[in-house]
Homo-oligomer: A and B are copies of this chain.
C-alpha cells in the first residue's frame, strides 16, 4: 500500500507493518510502530504510531536512518488489562466516565490487513490512547456501531447508561460516537437528559492509522471539557483544520458540515459554547452555558420514533407527501429559503393539520425561519405548520418532534412544546 520509495526503504530493512522502528531525519529521531497506509495522500510518507498514541507521517525522502527494534506485533496483551483500572482507589465522583458507542474515534487497526475495526473493550481503548492511563477515568463500552446505524432505540440505551453512571457518581461523561449522526444523538440526549455534570460527545474524522488523525486530541479535549464547569450536552471536535484547539458546541445547535475535514462540526446560528485549548489545559467560554451543579439530574426517554424528515424539492408529488404524512405520526419538512414549500403541498398538509404536527425547517441550514414575509409563509401559518421565527436545525427539530410526540397526543400541546425551547434548540430572536 506504501508507494515505491517508502516500500523500498521498508523492504531494505526488512521492516513490516506493525514492527517497532527507530527513525532518524535531519532534525529529529522517532520511535514507534509502523502503521499501514490505507488512505490516499502521500503514499511515500511512512506513518509511525508514537508511544504517546499520536501518529506522525515522515516522508521516505527525509529519512536518513531506520532501524528495526524488538518486534511489537499485535498479540493478546492480557498482562496489560489491569492498566485500564487505576491502581489506587479513586472516588467515582472524581472520575470521568468514557462511554463507547463505536465510530472512528475508538477504532483499532488490524496491522496485518490495514482494516479499521471499532475497539470494543476498555483495555483496547487504553491501549490505543496511552495517555488515558494518567487520567481519572473509567470506561464502559455500550455498543460498537458505525453511527449511520445508530437508531432512536440506541439513544435511549445511551441515556439509560448515563443514568446508571450518574447513580454511581462521576465528574463528567464522555461519549465516543461515530461522527455521521453524532449531532442527532447529541440533540436526543439534550432533550432526554437534564444534567448537573458535563456530557460531551466526541468523535474523529480521520481514523487512527492516519498521520492526520484527530482522535487523540479530540478525546483528551473532551475529557478536559467533561471535567469543566459546562454542565450541558455538548459536542467536542476540532475547531480548525489544524491541531490548535477544539470547539465545544451545544448539542442541539451543532451539525456536521463537511464530509471529511477535521473541523467538520459547526455551531449553526450561534457561537460555540467554548474553545478547548488542550495544550494549555484551558477552557475559554464564548457564550452562555449552564454551570455545573445547577441542574438536578433527570432522565426522560419517552420518544415516538414514528416521525419523518422530508426534503422538499421542485416537482415533488402531492401523493408522495400525502403518503408520508399518512404513514407517520408527525413530520419535519425541509423547505426552501425562509421556510417555504410549494403551494400545492401546503394544501396536502392542511388535510392533516387537525391531527398531526407538521414542522418546517430550511434547506439553507443557516438562518432563521420567517413565515410572515411572503404569501407562501402566511399560507403555511394558516395551515398551522410549526416553525415561524424559529432558528432550529432540521435535525434538532426532527429529534424534538420524536420527543414531544412521546409526551403528548394533543395537537395544541404538541405545537406549544415545539414552539418552546426545551434544550437550547431555539435561540431568542435579536432585534436587527
Chain A residues proximal to chain B, CB less than 8 Å: 39-42, 116, 146-152, 155, 179-181, 184, 207, 256-261, 264, 305, 307-311, 313-317, 319-320, 323-324, 327, 334-343, 362-370, 373-376, 394-395, 398, 402, 431-432
**Which residue of chain B has the shortest Cβ distance to A317 in the bound complex?**
B327
Asked if A258 contacts B366 (CB within 8 A), the reply is yes
Asked if A180 contacts B336 (CB within 8 A), the reply is yes
**Which residue of chain B has the shortest Cβ distance to A260 in the bound complex?**
B367
Q: How far is the CB of A333 from chain B (nearest CB, A)?
A: 10
Could you show 20 A-B contacts with beta carbons less than 8 Å apart? A40-B431, A40-B432, A41-B432, A146-B340, A146-B374, A147-B337, A148-B340, A149-B343, A151-B315, A179-B337, A184-B314, A256-B363, A256-B364, A257-B365, A259-B339, A259-B368, A260-B338, A260-B368, A307-B315, A317-B327
| A320 contact set on B, CB distance < 8 A | 308, 324, 327
Asked if A152 contacts B314 (CB within 8 A), the reply is yes
Identify 9 new A-B residue pairs, CB closer than 8 A, beyond the known A257-B365, A259-B362, A313-B398: A146-B340, A148-B335, A148-B342, A151-B315, A184-B313, A256-B363, A257-B364, A259-B338, A311-B334
Which among A151, A315, A398 has the greatest number of chain B C-beta atoms within 10 A?
A315
Query: Once the chains are docked, how many angstroms separate the CA of A327 from the CA of B367?
Result: 33
Asked if A264 contacts B367 (CB within 8 A), the reply is yes
**Which residue of chain B has the shortest Cβ distance to A337 in the bound complex?**
B180
Query: Once the chains are docked, how many angstroms separate the CA of A342 from the CA of B154?
Result: 14
| A334 contact set on B, CB distance < 8 A | 311
Q: How far is the CB of A308 from chain B (nearest CB, A)?
A: 7
Q: How far is the CB of A401 from chain B (nearest CB, A)?
A: 11
**Which residue of chain B has the shortest Cβ distance to A150 in the bound complex?**
B314
| A313 contact set on B, CB distance < 8 A | 184, 309, 395, 398
Q: Knowing A256-B364, A336-B180, A336-B256 touch, does A342 contact B149 (C-beta < 8 A)?
A: yes
Asked if A257 contacts B314 (CB within 8 A), the reply is no
Asked if A152 contacts B315 (CB within 8 A), the reply is yes
Asked if A181 contacts B146 (CB within 8 A), the reply is no
| A149 contact set on B, CB distance < 8 A | 342-343, 376
Which among A151, A366, A395 has the greatest number of chain B C-beta atoms within 10 A?
A366
- Cβ-closest 5 pairs across A and B: A259-B367, A180-B336, A180-B337, A148-B340, A311-B311
Q: Of the candidates B40, B264, B342, B343, which one forms a contact with A364 in the assembled complex, judged by CB atoms under 8 Å apart?
A: B264
Q: How far is the CB of A205 from chain B (nearest CB, A)?
A: 9
Q: Of the candidates B116, B147, B367, B432, which one forms a contact with A336 in the assembled complex, judged by CB atoms under 8 Å apart?
A: B147
| A256 contact set on B, CB distance < 8 A | 336-337, 363-364
**Which residue of chain B has the shortest Cβ distance to A343 in the bound complex?**
B149
Query: Once the chains are docked, how many angstroms separate the CA of A368 from the CA of B258?
Result: 8
| A184 contact set on B, CB distance < 8 A | 313-314
Asked if B337 contacts A148 (CB within 8 A), the reply is yes
Query: Once the chains are docked, how many angstroms separate the CA of A327 from the CA of B316?
Result: 12
**Which residue of chain B has the shortest Cβ distance to A324 in the bound complex?**
B320
